Amino acid sequence: MSSASGAGRVKPVTVRDFIARKANGEKLVVVTAYDALFGRLVDESGVDAVLVGDSLGNVVAGMDSTIPVTLDQMIYHARMVRRGVERALLIVDMPFLTCQAGAERALLNCGRVMQETEAQALKIEGATPEVLAAVRSVTSVGIPVMGHLGFTPQSVHALGGYRVQGREKEAAERLVEDARALEHAGAFSIVLELMPAEVAARVTAAVSIPTIGIGAGAGCDGQVLVLPDLLGLNDRFTPKFLKRYASLADTVRSAVVAYGDDVRGGRYPDDEHSF
């Protein structure tokens, strides 16, 4: 379902709106989604952007990292989410090695995602020279790009695991410079993941584009959470930064147990639920 189709629908959020939120001092709300149903539910809840994250490798496919996630998998899930999202800005993660092996390859991969998913923006991790060249190439043809700094999950092995980044002075300075480089390359926003709150606040003040934090404190221009985590569906994931707004894992288990008890006890289906 295209966000631009249909009469009488609310005005969709655009990249320009996203950037204007920072200028106006308005906090941005971003949530991940991986299918049409949850895409629709979060869209109807008024979020500013829906991110189809390569975190689907962890939370949907049960992988240990995002590295095995493929471009085809991202396109498949993004197309589903697109059918549910009408108003929020739809952003799709570019998975491992799709934007790190040359600007030309990055442009072709990003163009394919935009054509096949009807997304409005893409997210690319890191700020190496190769990634910056890719961001410049992709944005030069009119594809909006969100950057991603701090802990970058596609580099989990090089970073030595899931660790807070930027604790040392030199590392903090590098994050500020990387953010400026991403803005200069054309990025419209940057995710800041797992870094000290004071460092994230410095990065946020150093750029004119909005920053979206996850485990990066309150000084960012907005926040993003993985939907199954904030809903308490993924109850084995307990990082310090996560606030659960529901405990749906318990609800799901209780509901399925009750259904099983009714089936075994001959109480379901009853006359009310039979034709």
CA of 154: how far to CAs of 54, 181, 249, 253, in Å?
A: 9, 20, 28, 32
**Nearest-angstrom CA–CA distance, 221 and 90:** 18
The reply to whether 170 belongs to the active site is no
Copy the structure tokens of residue 157: 């092995």
Task: Please name the amino acid found at residue 228.
Answer: P
Cis upstream peptide for 269 (omega within 30°): yes
Q: What are phi and psi of 191, to 5 degrees?
A: -80, 135
Query: Please, are residues 12 and 89 in contact by the beta-carbon 8 Å criterion?
Result: yes
Query: Please, are residues 28 and 222 in contact by the beta-carbon 8 Å criterion?
Result: yes
- Per annotation, catalytic residue among 44, 86, 193, 198: 193
Query: Please, are residues 187 and 133 in contact by the beta-carbon 8 Å criterion?
Result: no
Catalytic residues: 193
